Structure formats: structure tokens, C-alpha cells
Chains A and B, each alone.
Chain A
Amino acid sequence: MDSSEVEFLAEKEMVKIIPNFSLDRIYLIGGDLGPFNPGLPVDVPVWLALNLKQRQKCRIVPPAWMDVEKLEEMRELERKEDTFTPVPSPYYMELTKLLLNYASDNIPKADEIRTLVKDIWDTRIAKLRLSADSFISQLEAHAKLDNLTLMEINTIRAFLLDSLNCMYKLRSNLQPGSSKGQFTDY
């Protein structure tokens, strides 16, 4: 799975916008949207919100968790705990990236939020690597990780699976081969 595919899924999340045009309810395959009244908040998927925003047809209302204080709290908690803490949105990284890239003028303290989310992300990825490392080094058969987001799983999946495969190969060759001493002079 590509990260762009994960982002595509994230674009289905709903976000509030304040349109500056008026349009009656629109009927789409994914569901009905609207009606759009100028100045009145309405929930739309992120892809539509970004599309409208790029055409300057709306202002995006940032999600409630996209707030410096709340993110700071979350960062502290994430740093304190050894396990993964629940995230505000299953697509927090993607949403932050998308909204900040296209609608940073509608989000107060955009730079701070970017840094905070990056901090949280880094902390979580570090934990993920650490657990992968201990998983492998302790030769565990299975591991359970809670509260991981799709994007996080996706970043490590390719590498982890490949390396596990590789190691499996190495081990499977090594054990019967050790008696034969295949690798001894390698």
C-alpha cells in the first residue's frame, strides 16, 4: 500500500467548512452533501473541502483536536507512556499535512501545530522501531500493538515484512546448514 493511497482514504474524513457561495443539496454516490449556505458551517469530505478551498469558495474550520494546547498535552502523554496513546483522529498525520498545506491561513498557529504533530509522529515512529527491534531481537512469534494508525503501519510494513522474510530465509538456511557448516567459512 502506498502512502498516497492512505492519504486518499484520509480524504474521506469529514471536515467543517464555511462556504461563501450558496448551493442546494448535492447528491453524490458517497452520500448527500449540503445544502451550502454562505456563512453557515457545513460538513464535507476533505477532498471537497480542499477543492473548494483552492478555488477560494470556502474557509475550512480546523478540527477540534487541531489546537496547540490539546496537541501539547497529547505530545506530553505520548512521550510519557511507553505504549501508544490513542490519537485524536485515525488520519491525524494526513489531515494535518493536507489542511496545513492548503488551508494554513484558516488555521491559527499553523506552524506550531505542524511542529507538534511532527513531534508526536516522531515519538510514535521511534516507539514503533523500538518495538520492532525488541520483537526481532527477542525472537517473539507475535506482538500486539494498539492505537496504531494506518499511515504508521504503512511506513513500517514494507521494511518489517521484507526484513522478517529475509531473516526467516537466513535462519532456515542457517539451522540445517550450521551442522553442515555451510556458512562457517562465509
Chain B
Amino acid sequence: MPCERKPMRYGHSEGHTEVCFDDSGKFIVTCGNDGDVRIWEGLDDDDPKFITVGEKAYSLALKNGKLVTASSNNTVQIHTFPDGDPDGILTRFTTNATHVVFNSSGSRVAAGSSDFMVKVVEVSDSSQQKTLRGHEAPVLSVTFDPKDDFLASASCDGSVVVWNIEEQSQLISWPVLQKTNDISNAKSLCRLAWQPGTAKFLAVPVETKVHLYERGSWDHVSTLSDDLQTQLINVVAWSPCGQFLAAGSVGGSLTVWDVNSKLCVERYKHEKGFTVCSLAWHPSGSQIVYTDTEGCLGLLDGLTKKAAKDYDDLFDDDDDDRLMDEGLSETNSPVKKPITGDDDDDDDDFLMPATGRVRNRGAILDDENSLDTGSLKLGQDKFGDDDDTGSVVVPAAAPLVPMRPVYEGPMPTAPQKAFQPGSTPAHLTHRFMMWNSVGIVRGYNDEQDNAIDVEFHDTAVHHAMHLTNSLGHTMADLSQEAVLLACPSTDELASKLQCLHFSSWDTNKEWMVDLPEGEDVRALCLGQGWAAVATSALMLRLFSIGGIQREIFSLPGNVVCMVGHGEQLLIVYHRAPGFDGEQALGVQLLQFGRKKRQLINGEPLPLSLQSHLSWLGFTAEGTPCYVDSVGVVRMLNRSLGNTWTPVCNTRETCKSKSDHYWVVGIHENPQQLRCIPCKGSRYPPTLPRPAVAILPFKLPLCQTSTEKGQMEEQFWRSVLFHNHFSFLSSSGYEIDEDGQSQTQKEQQELLMKMFALSCKLEREFRCVELAELMTQNVVTLAIRYASRSRRMALAQRLSEIALEKANQIQEEEPEEQEEEPEYSGVRRTSGLRNVLMGYVQVLGSGKPSSSSGLPRVTNILDNMTSSRKSSPLSRSAGIPSKGPVLKPLAPRPKTKTGFQFWLEENRKSITADQPDLEETDIIKEAMGRFRTLSAEERLVRNTKGFREEGLGHMSSGHEGKVKRSRYFYSTNKAQNSTTLPR
């Protein structure tokens, strides 16, 4: 009889507690040492109703809307249920009552007391009392005969007595218990129980066994025992059908016997091993509640339902199998099975598949040795007897259901549901369906209105829209071109995808697509010129923005969410079930456009421990990033093999534990994390309109409180947030070159600062490491710094690095330009080396004012300044258009090699010589001529190209800014008001 043990929960303060169900089974009612009776609407009820009945409550009974309690003021009181109004005092004792019970009809109450007396009181008229005297010690427990003739009581004097209520006389007494002088010293509470319905048996817990006495003959007819039951049984309770008997022990074990077969059908262990001091069956017989002496409340669920099902399964089998099956299930009697939690059993858990048959077989293999036919026969015999009385309707095979092994390994986590990043939960009546960098889509779904509002941050994109949501859309995405909406399927209607293509230049601004039957939209997103939809059939469907169906492919798992940006599509899906609160997510990054390819191929998505994905998106520059529920923002690092780097922990800036930041967008340049602070919740309400805040990024490097750590963090953050430039240029977008050179400059400055710091700290090795990260011309500065601070060894090493770097740059060039002939690398290098060595020597010889030194030295510095002027990168600055960050490619000024310079100069002469040449032929011809040039001349050409490319970076950004501000000054003077938009 497999059933579910619900986790224990706090019920009362420490001490004796009692529990019962109300007549309907709707409420669990408990009383405890704190004097309260609590009425729980279920185990998960966090706010139970309570009735205070006294300083302490010792026992309670509930029937017909009357709650009877034994409290510390020596009375037995009645309260109405569930209202909890006091309804009088039923009886009093000279000391406190220990146990109260109702009879089966609810007309009488019996109470046992520590003053050795048992009283039977009519509920309707408390003056009609019968007192049963005869016990010589406090009464432990009382129970009514369901037919109302007798009453049984147990006492600390060691006896269990059956009384005739009418005659108020002892009928029989069994000295089966241990003698003690008080309840507090009694080892067991010895709660008696009379079989309901037929009233045939009285169950008496005697040490580790339960004795069954037959009504009438008062013979001890049988004993229920369990080999594994080693502790004293505290309480027993009959199931409402009278077929099962549950017992709770001092050591916290719960055992359920089938009385007909005398076999244990269920065995559980209290999770902490506390003493079970009360037990009650649900009126339907499907649940058992229990409480322990620590005041905790527990529940076993699914008892008889499962039993009935297993029984059905058995008889659904083919006739041929039936006998064997019966045999199997009998041999699987849990009496012989090792206790749950035992190591052997754990192994079984993993090996046994879920089907009943195979499980049985597995059990046989385990239990063959201990097969006990004797006990089986006993069960069969008993069945025969019971059949005569007609009280039992269940055949013998039925109760012998196998006990399902309890699995105690890691538990799978519920997979997180699909969601749209930037939306608030769908169950809200007013919600954000999408909040992204383009605008806001709000959904209203209340009595008055079912509508969708679309609003754009930038009204230049489109004016706000108000749509009636007749289809019941639940998902939305918004881009500069269109609004995409989708609804799940209903009974009649298929799942629909609706696109409002507002940027279309024709008159039809809307299209709609029905998904095939049985396929639901789970997630959707918009890119530039395309829309993507992930469906419940693990399918990804691509559409053009105009409504043409495009590629379709299968997803490896259930989609969690996806986002699009430009030509990139990022999909996150469930890879596998996660365990112990983790989610196992996978990520795919695809790129469309001319070269369609998959950039990230289903790699696991790293999440913080015990968290789920809460936001997924691209930075405005097109780098994928995501936020998990713990608040850590991670960004793709394309330069480190597509790894994910944590760039911010939003929880660090939260003031209180329940505050969160709801991320709406990320920008790399300037570095901004745009989010909405939510006080005490995970997402913002639609009203009042939330305001966007900006958080800074911070890489979680060590020791960021120190100057060194700070600079390292700044540097690597700058490097990370600089990656998008190379990505954008490689995928053919125009890039903000000002910004790029600015960040490069910033990085080099940081490196120089770190260099200076390391120099100060006498960490020369570290200096060299830093120099390796520098560009060649900054290394020259570093050399200067080193030689000024009289670190000759360092300067020497740095000059070597500078040479290497110079070589690298020059080696890269010919690779780029493959036509370049074999070059005289040795010569060039040696030439440069001379230059640098000379430089070092000059500085080392104590003449830092280098300009007066060797002409070669001044040459280097001159180059730097002169290249500043001729830099091709310093564009004439205007108002940089601030529109979408992605711009189609403008022909990018390519870095020119020496050959190209030469070609430009000499093109005319070539064309003059041979005017009928095609473009490619001209280049071929030019190549030939270039090769014939002397090595020196080529070197000049090459270095010219190199200078213009390499040295331009440092200065251009600064210059651009100066120019721009000058520009503004003039425009402001001329027409101040026109700079404002209108």
C-alpha cells in the first residue's frame, strides 16, 4: 500500500499533542501543550483557526459539531465547532482529565482522569453522569464500545478493564501493562481502540505488539506484531472501515496492519524519530494524521486509494497470470521486507521499475529466503472466518499489496515553465506582456476590458496602440518593426500567431497564422526582419516579418524562453530534468543573415545554485546575456570560447531581502543595467508606472576594495564590454569607432596605472605580465616609465616585449594580404630593435629629455604625434545618430597595407602603361612591380601602413570629442532652440 509521507510541520509547542479529523474530513483538529485547539484546513494551512481552551489541553474529541477538550483546570469543556464558542462544562475532576472520547453516535462522552476515575456523561445533559470507580492509578485512556454497551479503559495500575456502562461494574480486567505511579512516568499512553462497525475486536497496545480481544468472549484471539517493531506502541487507531489498524510507537514508527491477514501493510518512520502520541484516520480512510511529543503534525496520504488500485491491477491481468500474481504479491508481504531506509531497500529503489509485476519479481529475488508460508496460511484461514460474519468484503489477496520502496535520493525539480523575458506572470489581471528596449506591451484582463496597450519608449518609432484582445493573447514581443502576439489554443480554436507589422509600407499592416492542431505557442520573439515561434511540439518555426513561413527545425527540449536581436536568435530549453532545485537548461544561439550558422550548439546554461532563469536577452549591442532568479547577470564572452561571465549581482544593491530588480535591458556602451526596483516583489505592478533605474556592472573579482583589485576589475570589465566591437564588425555592422577607441584608450590607461602600481610595489614580474597586455606604443611609454624609475632590468625586458609586439603586428599584415611577397622580416626586426635599444640606452644613460638625443628616438615619438594628425579614424564628428545601435554596414575603412599605398600611388602609371587592363589584372601587374622594389622601399611602405593603423587608436577618440564640443558650441550660439526636438 504505497502512500506518500508529507513533511512534518510545526503544530504546537513541545509536549503532548492530540489530533483528529472533523466528521467531514475537511479539517484537521489538534490540541497541544500551549492550550490551543487549532483547526487546519490541510497540512499546508499556514494560518489555522485556533480556540484557546485553557493553559494546557490534554485531550480532545470532536463529533457532531461539538469539540470536547480536557484542559488543565481539571474540567472537560465543550466548544462548538468550527466557531469555537464555549458551550459549557461537561464534568469536573479533582485533577486533570487525561483522555476524552465520544461514543459512536456522539451522544456520550467518556473521560478518564488522573484521580483514578472514569466518567461517562450525556452530552445533552451533563447532570446524567456515570462514574466508573475501580482503577488504582491514573487512567491512561478510555474507549467506547461502538454498540454503546461497554467501555474499556487502561490505567497506570497495569490493568486494562472492560466496564459495563449501565451497571457501572467491571466486566473483566487484564493485567497486561506495566505498573507506574503516574501518567508522566508511563512508558506508553496505551490508547485503546475498539473496532468500528462490527465492534468485534478491542485493540490493546501491549509493549511492541497489539493484542486483539474478542467482544463477548473477551478472549485474547490474536496478536498483531511486526518483527521490525522494537519500540513500545503508544497509540492505536482503527481505519473507518475497520479493516486496518494503525499504531504509532514511542520511537516514531507508524505501522498499519491488515487485521484479517494479520500482516503489516504499511510501515513508516517518523522523520526525526519522535514519539507519536496521537493518530487519526481520515473518515474516508485515505489519510492518517499523527502528532508527536514535539508538537509536530504529520500526514500520510493515499492509503486506501492506492490499495484499491493495486487490487484492480491484479485482476485486470490475464487469467493465466493471475494465480502467479497472487502468489507473487503474497510472497511480497512486507512483513518480510527490510525496513525502509535500510540499505538493501535503497538499492531496490533504483533497480525496480514502476510496474507492479516486475517490482514483485524483484521483491521475490530479495525475499525468497525469508519466505514464510506459515504466516500466509494464517492469513488465508482468517479470511475464511471473517467471511462468515460478513463483515469483510475484501478477498485475501487484496490487502497484500506490495509496499513501495521509498526513494530517498535526489528529487527531480519541477521544470520551470516557458516565459517571455520582460513579462510579469500571466495570472495577473493587469500585467506587462513585454517590457524591452523598444517599448512596453501591457495586457488588461478584467471584467470591463480585455485589451492590450502598446507603447513605445521612443514615439518616433510609432504612436501608442490600443488593441482589443478578443483572441486572448498571452504572449507578446515588440521590435522596431512589429508587434508579435500569440494565444494558446482553446477547445475550438487553434493556437494563433498575430503580427502587427506597423512598419510595413503597404496598407496591410497585419497578418495572422494558425498553428497546426495540438500545437501551442510556448515562446516567441522578433528579430530584424523575422519572427520566431517555439511550440509545444518542440518545433521552432521561423517567419519573415511580412508573414512568409521560413525555416523550421526541432528543438532538443521544451523551450523556456527565447529572444531575437538583429540576426541572432537565442533559445533556452530544458536539457533534462534538474535535481534538488536545479534546472538543467541548454542554450542555442543561431545567426541568420547571409551566413546562417549555429554559434552555440546546445551547451548547458550555467545558473546559480537552486535558481531558475528569470530574464534572457541581448545587450543593445547584441551580446547574449541572462539573469537568474538569484539576481546574477551573466554575459556571453565571445573572446573566451563563448563562456558566460557574471557581470553583476543585482541582489547586492537591494536593501531588503524581499526586494528585487526586474531587468528590462542591458547596454554595453555606456555600461548600463536598466532595471526596475521592486519593493517586496519580483516584478513591478503596472500602476503606478514603474521608473527605470540604472545599476552599474561589477565583475566578482577578488579584493575589489583594494586599488589593485579595483583596477583589475575595471580593466577586465572594459575588455569584456569591448568584445561587441569585434563581433559587430565581423558580422558586418557599422561600429561606433569613437567608442571603440575610447574604450581601448581607457584600457591602456588602466594598464599603465596598474603598471605604475606594480612598479611602486617592486613587482617587476607583474609589470612584465601587464606589459604583455599592452599595445606596442603603450609599452614604449612603460619602458620610459621603467627607465625613469631606474629599473633597467625591467626596461630591458619590456623592450623585448615591444619588439615582439612590433613583429606580431607586421606578421599579421602579410597574412591579411596574402599576395604580399616573401618579406625581409629579419631586416625589419633588426631595424626596429636598433631603434628601441637606442631608446633604452638613451634613457638609461640619464638623459630622459629624449628629444635632444638620437634622431631615431625622437622619430618614435614624432610618429605618435604625427599619426595623430593623419589618423584615418578621427572622423569629422557630427551629432552621432542615436537610433538603434545596429546599423547596416557602411563600407568600413580597411587598414591599408604598404602594398595598397604603393598601389594607390602607382595605379595611374600602370593604367597609363596598359589602359585595357581589368581591375584584377591591374592588381596582378601591380603585385609584380611591387615585388621588384627594393626591400628597404617596401619596409617604408609597410611601416607607413602600420603606423596609420596601429597608432591612430590612442588619440582619435579624444580629438573627436574636442571637435564635437566645438561644433555644439557653434550650433548653440546660432540657434539654441533647434537643438531640442520638437
Q: Which residues of A contact B (CB under 8 A)?
A: 16, 18, 20-24, 26-29, 35, 37-41, 48, 51-52, 55-57, 59, 61, 108
The smallest beta-carbon distance between A139 and chain B, in angstroms, is 53
Complex: A39 Cα to B693 Cα, angstroms: 10
Q: Is the interface of A mostly helix, strand, loop or mixed?
A: loop
Given A35-B882, A38-B457, A39-B457: A23 and B981 interface contact (C-beta under 8 Å): yes
- Please, which residues of chain A bring their CB within 8 A of the CB of B688? 108
Asked if residues A38 and B458 are in contact (CB atoms below 8 Å), the reply is yes
Closest to A106 in B: B689
The smallest beta-carbon distance between A105 and chain B, in angstroms, is 11
- Please, which residues of chain B bring their CB within 8 A of the CB of A108? 688
**A22 partner, pick from B439, B458, B979, beta carbons under 8 A:** B458
**B969 partner, pick from A21, A27, A56, beta carbons under 8 A:** A27
Apart from the given pairs A23-B980, A24-B880, A40-B692, 10 other A-B contacts in the complex at a CB distance below 8 Å: A20-B457, A21-B981, A27-B969, A35-B882, A39-B457, A41-B691, A48-B980, A56-B459, A57-B459, A59-B689
Asked if residues A21 and B968 are in contact (CB atoms below 8 Å), the reply is no
The smallest beta-carbon distance between A100 and chain B, in angstroms, is 16
Q: Is B982 interfacial (CB-CB < 8 Å)?
A: yes
Asked if residues A22 and B882 are in contact (CB atoms below 8 Å), the reply is yes
**B982 partner, pick from A22, A28, A48, A55, beta carbons under 8 A:** A55
Complex: A37 Cα to B437 Cα, angstroms: 10
**What are 7 A-B contacts with C-beta separation under 8 Å?**
A18-B691, A18-B692, A24-B882, A26-B968, A38-B457, A38-B458, A40-B674
- Please, which residues of chain B bring their CB within 8 A of the CB of A41? 691-693
Q: Is B972 interfacial (CB-CB < 8 Å)?
A: yes
- Please, which residues of chain B bring their CB within 8 A of the CB of A24? 879-880, 882
The smallest beta-carbon distance between A67 and chain B, in angstroms, is 10
- Please, which residues of chain A bring their CB within 8 A of the CB of B459? 20-21, 38, 56-57
Given A26-B979, A28-B972, A108-B688: A40 and B882 interface contact (C-beta under 8 Å): no
Complex: A48 Cα to B969 Cα, angstroms: 19
Digitize B959-982: 1 where CB-to-A-CB distance is under 8 Å, 0 elsewhere. Answer: 000000100110010001001111
Asked if residues A27 and B880 are in contact (CB atoms below 8 Å), the reply is no
Q: Is B641 interfacial (CB-CB < 8 Å)?
A: no
Closest to B689 in A: A59
Complex: A24 Cα to B736 Cα, angstroms: 14
- Please, which residues of chain A bring their CB within 8 A of the CB of B689? 59
- Please, which residues of chain A bring their CB within 8 A of the CB of B879? 24
Q: Is B394 interfacial (CB-CB < 8 Å)?
A: no
The smallest beta-carbon distance between B440 and chain A, in angstroms, is 8
Q: Is B694 interfacial (CB-CB < 8 Å)?
A: yes
The smallest beta-carbon distance between B462 and chain A, in angstroms, is 11
List B residues 662-706 near A (Cβ within 8 Å): 674, 688-689, 691-694
Complex: A108 Cα to B688 Cα, angstroms: 8
The smallest beta-carbon distance between A16 and chain B, in angstroms, is 8
The smallest beta-carbon distance between B398 and chain A, in angstroms, is 67
Complex: A20 Cα to B691 Cα, angstroms: 14
- Please, which residues of chain B bring their CB within 8 A of the CB of A29? 972
Asked if residues A27 and B691 are in contact (CB atoms below 8 Å), the reply is no
Complex: A27 Cα to B980 Cα, angstroms: 11
Q: Which of A20, A51, A55 lies at the interface centre, i.e. has the most chain B CB atoms within 10 A of its CB? A: A20
- Please, which residues of chain A bring their CB within 8 A of the CB of B965? 27
Closest to B969 in A: A27
- Please, which residues of chain B bring their CB within 8 A of the CB of A20? 456-459
Given A20-B456, A41-B691, A55-B982: A27 and B972 interface contact (C-beta under 8 Å): yes
The smallest beta-carbon distance between B872 and chain A, in angstroms, is 24
The smallest beta-carbon distance between A13 and chain B, in angstroms, is 19
Q: Is B826 interfacial (CB-CB < 8 Å)?
A: no
Asked if residues A57 and B981 are in contact (CB atoms below 8 Å), the reply is yes
- Please, which residues of chain B bring their CB within 8 A of the CB of A16? 691
Q: Is B883 interfacial (CB-CB < 8 Å)?
A: yes
Complex: A40 Cα to B439 Cα, angstroms: 11
Complex: A55 Cα to B882 Cα, angstroms: 20
The smallest beta-carbon distance between A113 and chain B, in angstroms, is 13
Asked if residues A21 and B972 are in contact (CB atoms below 8 Å), the reply is no
The smallest beta-carbon distance between B441 and chain A, in angstroms, is 13
Q: Is B460 interfacial (CB-CB < 8 Å)?
A: yes
Given A20-B458, A28-B972, A55-B982: A39 and B692 interface contact (C-beta under 8 Å): yes
- Please, which residues of chain A bring their CB within 8 A of the CB of B458? 20-22, 38-39
Asked if residues A23 and B882 are in contact (CB atoms below 8 Å), the reply is yes
Digitize B143-160: 1 where CB-to-A-CB distance is under 8 Å, 0 elsewhere. Answer: 000000000000000000
**A51 partner, pick from B692, B972, B980, beta carbons under 8 A:** B980
List B residues 933-982 near A (Cβ within 8 Å): 965, 968-969, 972, 976, 979-982
